[in-house]
Structure 1
Amino acid sequence: MRILQTWIPVLLISVCLAASRPAGASVPAPAAGAEAPIRIGVLAYRNAEFIQATWQPMLAHLNHTLSPRVFELLQADHATLQQAVREGTIDFVLTNPGHYVELETSLGASRIATLHHERSPTADYALGAAVIARSNRTDLQQLSDLRRKRLAATTPEGFGGYQIVWRELKELGIDPEKHLEGLVYTGLPMENVLQAIRDGKADAGIVRACVLESIPDWQAHFRVLSPRTDGNLACAVSTRLYPDWPIASLRHTDPALSRAVIVALLQMLPDREGISWSVPADYQSVHELFRDLQIGPYAYLREPSLRALAREYWPFLAIALLLLLCGIFYTVRVEHLVHKRTAALQAALKEGNAMRERMRAHQEQTHHLSRLSILGELSATLAHELNQPLAGIANYGQSLLRRMERGALTDAAVQQASTEIVAQAGTAAGILQRIRSFARKRPPQREMHKAHAVVGDTLALFRSMLSSPPDIVLDNRLPDSACIHADALQIQQILLNLLKNGLDAMQQLPEQDRRMHVGLSLENGLILIAIRDYGHGLDGIAPKQLFEPFRTTKEDGLGLGLSICEGIAEVHEGRLDASMASDGPGMIFTLALPAHEC
């Protein structure tokens, strides 16, 4: 049966080749000594002696069958073999399935036959890998136990020495680059992996299937992880099975030579190791492995795509999305709080403005009441002052009536009486006008005023309200251009309050000794208005305490006059000070206001 399986494909291919040749043609045979040797490059996955022994029967068969052509082997690793294919220094290549698929895709290699071993009933399922560890490593039983362990392999390009196991680990969720403690690449030959395990350089290692079976008593030294029982291969394996090694012709290989080699290989009987050749196997499973691992001809799949990135980095994308949603929620909440706080601030600002408006109205009312209080305190003397011009008007009117009764009324008498009546009426009207201007209620109006004029009007008003005003000396040392930017009525209110307080302080003095001094001067950009009386001064009260609300030295006083006056001065960016006179009795009150040119 085994012989029939081998020779039926041979006969079919021979018939096909014979039909394709012209009548009388035969397998080409070069003239003796005229042709260069035909070189077959072979992947040296084990030591040179093993490779030579393995492929010597095939080499001898080809040399015998296709004589006088001479075939020779070139043993090389992956990179050297690939370079030889690229440069055309070999005619055929004999390598593992993974390496062949790469050569097929990139350099146009074409398989002409697949290795067949008697340990496997079919060449399509003949190649696998075994992951081994030392027999005393009880912690290593399954492939999943390789996490955080050191794994030895030949090279990253090794099909049976790494890539087959890589696929199995990936399906278990183990990325060799991330989840192992380390990958130990030993290089070829594969015996280096066994030595790395023996020397403790690796916890486990990868070898091609059936390598262990070539070691006497291997089970006493090694254990196979996740062993599989597969009827297709009589060797210990840890992975699924793939097609066996192919032999491939290259782009520059003579097609006639390739056909001759195909016929010769298919005619080869199993050697002492049970090795023969069959028709090319299907290597689709190798393509699937490369596609799953995204290596070799499918390395382009590693290029990031949106779907691949989302699949690989979904935890980070989920966190980023969560942070974005949190950021949006935070922004919306902050905007809501800002809007709410802004509305509250606007309401508070509106309330504050309303409160300031009420305070301003109350302040104006207080100032108005303060002025009325001053007028009330001076009402007795005010009545006396108004009585004088009214009495004069009455006397001149009666004089005219008596002259008319006597018939002695002359034009000169009428003119004199009328003139005096008009003068006395004007005096009374002036007194009332000043009092009405001082007492009226109106909003503050800050304008430029000459300082000495404001002081002069205040003194005139003060004198007009008194029957016996004190002697007031005005000492004006200001330039004529010195002005204040102020509400004149409020400044008069301060000065009248200070003048009245000075007069009250001198009530115990005889009228001839009552005197006051008003000085105007310019100092450091300030206009100073100093009012001094010669009264009894302070009785145990500090000057600064005079400006405290509800503190007074008068029995019937409220203690608000000086406090109000100090507030008015501060509103005008000035100040009001009090001090004891240093050269005699009395107090000195000084109003300081910013000076301006006008």
Structure 2
Amino acid sequence: MFVASLAVGSQAWAQERKPRSPPAAASSTQQGDEHTVLRLGILAYMGEEPASEEWRDLQRYLEDALPQYRHEILYGDLDTLRGAVADGRLDFVLTNPGQYVELEADHGIGRIATLEHGHLPASNIAVGAAVVALRDRRGLETLDDLRGRVLAATAEDAFGGYQTVWRELADLGMEPSRDLDALKFTGFPMQKVLDALNEGQADAGVVRACLMENQPDWQTRYKVLSGRYEPALGCMISTRLYPNWPFASLRDTPPTMARQVAIALLRMDADTHGMSWGVPADYQVVHDVFRELQIGPYAYLRGTTLSGLVRQYWQFGMLLLLGLFFWGLYTARTEYLVRTRTAALEQALRDREALEQRMRAGQEQADHLARLSVLGEISSTLAHELSQPLAGVSNYAQSLLRRLENGRLTDDAVREASTSIVTLSDSAAGILKRIKGFARKRPGMRDWLVLRHLVDETVALFQGMQVQVPGIQVVDKLAPGSKVKADALQIQQVLLNFFKNAQDAMRALPPDQQRITLVLRQEQGWVWLHVRDFGTGMEDAALAHLFEPFYTTREDGLGLGLSICKGIVEAHGGQLLGSRADREPTDADLPRGPGMIFSLSLPLHEHDAKLGHLSAG
């Protein structure tokens, strides 16, 4: 069972949370505890009750997945969690990416998983902030309008509640302590920020991204400064996006417990349990924020000035020489710590780069094997396709020999036969060239591509290697020349998987009923590519495991094709979806009926996205 508590200073919590030691463990056993205690601290930015409701699915899942432990959870603000980690009263902590980076530097905690959301293209674009003001406030439309105003936020060390906005203000050349009239820190829960706006105590306030969308009729009462709609979140934001919340273990957490929790989290499914977790994300962008603002682990970059020391120690005028002596010692120690920390960070960066290089090499190998598997499946009739032009070449050559032997060989006959031989040879060479280009192994290369051209090349490759191939109808709703930044070979690999799966799903249909519809569309800065077949579709049980590795509905399948395709699309910043066509809304291009619809999205070239918005307007 979970034991929830918000007050860290309570006697019961303090007794349970003392650092581990053999005597304490023995005492716990003597008191009759059945299981080892698993202690988790969670940041409650909206207060204890909302946090308990938000993480209830996680609580129940961990209780079921790890019954060998007695689970205890602490909901608290930033200071509460910081104190609990410093005192060793937790095994794990779930908090925002900003506090994670600080605790990682100060106490050596390490992330074991990163929170995912099913509607997001990737877990590295999930956390941001919105700066809101009352809708009737005039002169407040952008972040630059905050000069000389009062800004409310939860706390100075709140990442999504202040620091992300601080970075945006710094990019505008604004220093909050200098250019704002005042900063009002309300503390948690975050609802206090909105209360300060409603009571006229502040001109604008900082809230976490998507918090406003949970407020009833918020658009009639508030507005978002420098707001832009982010399709990945479905919310209005004022800042850049950062990685999602990490689940981290403490330095003294038993490795066995940490490993069991990590495995349980990675098995958590969003459809079944309300959320899912992925491998730890890269939080270097959070380090970049702290480095630019010179806070947290990079506060040492602000340095210590002589004038500041004079102002701090003016009352010790008689002890000036002694103060200078200690200042010298302090400076020497700071320099030593800077060199030590810098060396550690550089080593960590080198280790991370080496790991990323190995991961890229493994991904390239997996992509290559997947392409070879696709070729093996759709090239079964390749010999038949090549035999036709070769047979034509042979016939024309034999005809020339017969005419020569009969004395009937003319220039026109030679010219006609030679032209036909060249045409058939070029056709056979073209088939082999496309197959060779698709099968070759090379590192990933992304470039700006016209998506329609890539689609046409892929259709030609698919149809050129088979005798009886379904008809493919391409419906292009994109602006002419619309571009995406992508690896052509990898996107071709995804499309060929779509076509092959569609062909397999329609094997039982008569040849004249086997057809594939491919639709290209633009939606709010994204290109969507939909591939629809008219087969029998998939059962709900199979849909639930659609993109899982090694899951397949075919007897001879490996279950890796769609899993690898999902990784390719997400690496491009997009998302991959699959659904039954009989459940989709009625659409003239994608009519409702039997079959499946597979869709992928890619970010549209910025220039093309602007043209699309203008044409839509």
TM-score, normalised by the number of residues in structure 2: 0.44
TM-score, normalised by the number of residues in structure 1: 0.45
Q: Which has the larger radius of gyration?
A: 1
